[in-house]
C-alpha cells in the first residue's frame, strides 16, 4: 500500500491535527487557463509573465521579489498590484485536483505560500478565518489582515472577535480576495519579514497555536532565501521533528536548511504524499 512510504509519526500528526500543511508553488503545476496556459506560480514564471512573456536581466531573474521591486521603481506599486490582480483575480483557472484532495482531508490550519484563490474557492461553503500578510502600512505595528468568512462572504475583523475554533487559511504573501493584498517586492518582504520576526506578522492566537506544531511541506522549494526566511519565522516554536518535506530531488542547500531546522525529507512528490495520506485515512471495507 502506498501509505507504507509515509512515516507513522506523520500519519499520526495529520490525524490528530498536530501537522500543518504548507503549500508551495509546485502544488499549482497542473493548473491552466482556458487556453491551456499554466498559471504563473514559481519565481521564474511570475517574472516572465510580469514582463510580458520575456525574461528580465539575469540579476533580476534571481527571485521574483527583486524583479517586482524593479517594476515598482520604474512603473509604481500599482503596476505590480495590477499584474497580480490580472493573474490571480481576473483570470479563470482550472480547479487543482491537488487542492481538492487537500481540502477533502479537512485540515484545521493551512499555510498557503502562493497568491492564488484555489483554496478560498474550495472553501466557499466552509466558514473559516483568513489571515493575509501585508506590508508597509501606515499606523499600527501589525502586518496582517484578518477576515471571517461566514459561509457567503468575507468580513474584516480583529483577533478579539474571532471564533478561533474555525479552520484557518494563512496566506502570508497575499491574495486578491476579498481585497488585493500582496507581499511582492523586496521592500514588502523586508518590512513583512522584519515584523514577522518581531512577532507582528501573525495574530496572537496563531502565535500561541503554533507552539509545538509540525509542518508538512507540499510543493515548496527552499532553494531561495525568501521562502526559507518565511518558513523559519512562521514555523517558530515547532515540535520535534519540525515536520516533513516532500522533495524527491532536494538540492544541497535545501538539505542543509531542512536538516538545520529539524525537518525530515521524504523522497516523494507532494502528489504522492497526499495520495498516501488520503489512502491512509480512507476506511477499508471487506
Whole-number pLDDT of residue 281: 80
Tell whether 134 is covered by a domain.
yes
Q: What is the pLDDT of residues 250-280, one digit of tens each?
A: 999 999 999 999 999 999 999 999 999 999 8
Domain that holds residue 84: 43-88
Same domain, 28 and 50: no
Same domain, 116 and 155: yes
Same domain, 73 and 191: no
Whole-number pLDDT of residue 131: 97
Of 67, 88, 109, at which residue does a domain stop?
88
247 within 8 A of 275, measured Cβ to Cβ = no
Of 51, 73, 88, at which residue does a domain stop?
88
Same domain, 132 and 187: yes
pLDDT above 90: residue 71: yes
Q: What is the pLDDT of residues 102-140, one digit of tens each?
A: 999 999 999 999 999 999 999 999 999 999 999 987 667
Same domain, 118 and 170: yes
247 within 8 A of 254, measured Cβ to Cβ = yes
Tell whether 108 is covered by a domain.
yes
Tell whether 223 is covered by a domain.
yes
Q: Where are the beta strands (DSSP E) in the chain?
A: 19-23, 109-112, 128-133, 144-149, 154-157, 168-171, 174-175, 181-182, 214-218, 243-246, 263-266
The domain total for the chain is 2
Whole-number pLDDT of residue 137: 77
Q: What is the pLDDT of residues 223-242, one digit of tens each?
A: 999 999 999 999 999 999 99
C-alpha cell at 5: 512510504
Same domain, 81 and 223: no
The CATH number that applies at residue 242 is 3.40.50.1220
Same domain, 20 and 105: yes
Tell whether 99 is covered by a domain.
yes
DSSP code string of 24-50: -GGGGTT-B-TTSPBPP-SHHHHHHHH
C-alpha cell at 269: 512528490
Average pLDDT for residues 12-19, to the nearest whole number?
A: 95
Same domain, 20 and 127: yes
Same domain, 48 and 29: no
Tell whether 126 is covered by a domain.
yes
Tell whether 286 is covered by a domain.
no
Q: What angle do CA 64, 66, 70 make, to 5 degrees?
A: 110
Whole-number pLDDT of residue 286: 38
Residue whose C-alpha is closest to residue 281's, from 17, 100, 14: 14
pLDDT above 90: residue 164: no
Report helix, strand or coil for 128.
strand
Same domain, 50 and 113: no
Tell whether 115 is covered by a domain.
yes
Same domain, 147 and 28: yes
Same domain, 108 and 64: no
Report helix, strand or coil for 275.
helix
Amino acid at each position: 500500500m502506498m501509505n507504507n512510504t509515509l512515516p507513522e509519526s506523520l500519519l499520526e500528526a495529520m490525524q490528530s491535527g498536530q501537522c500543518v500543511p504548507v503549500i508551495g508553488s509546485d502544488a499549482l503545476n497542473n493548473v491552466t487557463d482556458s487556453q491551456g496556459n499554466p498559471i504563473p506560480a514559481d519565481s521564474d514564471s511570475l517574472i516572465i509573465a510580469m514582463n510580458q512573456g520575456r525574461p528580465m536581466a539575469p540579476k533580476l531573474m534571481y527571485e521574483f521579489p527583486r524583479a517586482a521591486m524593479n517594476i515598482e521603481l520604474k512603473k509604481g506599486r500599482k503596476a505590480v498590484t495590477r499584474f497580480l490582480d490580472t493573474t490571480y483575480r481576473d483570470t479563470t483557472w482550472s480547479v487543482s485536483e491537488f487542492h481538492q484532495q487537500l481540502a477533502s482531508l479537512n485540515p484545521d490550519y493551512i499555510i498557503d505560500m502562493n497568491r492564488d484563490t484555489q483554496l478560498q474557492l474550495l472553501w466557499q461553503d466552509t466558514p473559516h478565518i483568513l489571515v493575509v500578510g501585508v506590508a508597509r502600512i501606515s499606523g499600527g505595528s501589525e502586518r496582517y489582515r484578518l477576515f471571517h468568512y461566514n459561509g457567503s462572504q468575507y468580513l474584516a475583523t480583529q483577533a478579539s472577535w474571532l471564533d478561533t475554533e474555525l479552520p484557518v487559511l494563512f496566506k502570508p504573501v497575499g491574495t486578491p480576495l476579498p481585497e488585493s493584498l500582496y507581499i511582492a517586492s523586496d521592500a514588502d518582504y523586508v518590512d513583512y519579514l522584519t515584523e514577522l520576526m518581531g512577532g507582528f506578522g501573525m495574530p496572537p492566537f496563531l502565535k500561541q497555536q503554533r507552539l509545538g506544531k509540525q509542518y508538512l511541506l507540499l510543493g515548496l522549494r527552499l532553494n531561495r532565501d525568501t521562502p526559507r526566511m518565511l518558513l523559519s519565522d512562521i514555523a517558530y516554536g515547532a515540535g520535534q521533528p519540525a515536520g516533513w518535506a516532500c522533495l524527491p530531488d532536494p538540492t544541497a542547500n535545501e538539505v542543509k536548511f531542512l536538516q538545520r531546522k529539524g525537518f525530515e525529507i521524504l523522497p516523494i512528490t507532494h502528489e504522492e504524499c497526499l495520495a498516501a495520506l488520503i489512502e491512509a485515512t480512507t476506511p477499508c471495507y471487506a
